[in-house]
Homo-oligomer: A and B are copies of this chain.
Amino acid sequence: MSEPRVAIVGATGAVGQVALQVLEERNFPVGGLRLCASERSVGQRISFRGRDYEVELATPQLFAECDLALISVSAAVSRDLAPMAVAQGCVVIDDSSAFRMQPNVPLVVPEVNAADVEAHEGILSIPNCSTTPMVMALWPIHRSNPARRIVADTYQSVSGTGKAAVAELRAQSTQALEGQRVFAEQYPHQIAFNVIPQVEGFLDDGYTNEERKMREETRKIMHAPAIAISATCVRVPVMVSHSEALHVEFERPVSPQDARALMDGFPGLTIVDDPAASAYPMPIDAQGRDEVYVGRIREDSSRSGALAMWVVSDNLRKGAATNAVQIAEELLRRGALLRSVAHGA
């Protein structure tokens, strides 16, 4: 099977649309394509490699006619659709948080833990879009000198919430600039010209679900259950790309020079770090790019031998669609795409 039949579920959403672009750009072998979305988008036509496809509802019959499903919908909907697809013989690469922490579900950033894909039982998950850039930046150091403690504060764009949030940021910005009343639906508060220190719901310990994800997913991906992690996840009025300020302690001291040498040339990672030229990663530069960008690499002035750095990545690409397609490529390369077919599972 060199040309898998692919279903994109959530094809009209922010990540689904980028997934189609990424499949084209990477010349992913597509033996057949089905585009799925919710009822209100059915019948819409979307172009892929010069051909128009009609949006359909995801059904068992549709999944039975596919080999691979890239699913990017809410966790609640994924919980229904992913098992449905697996039951019909599809391998699922799921973008939601529904399955990530399940022991039998590989959670994969291919540059970090590609081999984990082989253990899949039908579903593989991609990490949360704030976890992936952090793991990408730390792995080149961590793999030879384990990270012990990470403090991460994020600056997350509204496209992480979806297309409606992008539209809302645009609308609110105009409302605010024109002195009109500002309407908030996607977030509990106005996001235009504001920052909101809440991404997802709160847990009993005062952290948000997003902050918990950064902690637990990082440990799972790096196979490092003991790393201590504290994050503050903050929504900022940016359309695309998540940024993160990281402060990291490793088992042994790391100089900024060592860190740069270890990161330099690591696949998917680009260092942008020339303070004299005001060159550092920024959301508007990362948007539309597959790389994770790292800059402002310096010794943490609060802890000798620790590092501070700044990481930016397009949350729709490496944070979601690109990472999903990379996992599909890895499955193909390893002949692991059909292994799990478990009809009636």
Contact = CB atoms under 8 A, between A and B. Distances in A.
A34 interface: no
Contact of A206 (B188, B193, B239, B297): B297
A202 B237 contact: no
A276 B302 CA distance: 33
A44 interface: no
B232 A296 contact: yes
Copies of this chain in the oligomer: 2
B280 A234 contact: no
Given A283-B194, A301-B205, A278 B153 contact: no
A206 B298 contact: yes
Nearest to A306: B230
Interface residues of A, number: 57
B232 A303 contact: no
Given A237-B237, A284-B190, A299-B205, A153 B153 contact: yes
Given A194-B282, A230-B308, 7 more contacts: A155-B155, A169-B193, A197-B282, A205-B298, A229-B301, A232-B296, A232-B308
Interface of A: 149-151, 153, 155, 169-170, 173-174, 177, 188-190, 193-198, 202, 205-207, 211, 215, 228-230, 232, 234, 236-239, 243, 245, 247, 256, 275-276, 278, 280-284, 295-303, 308, 310
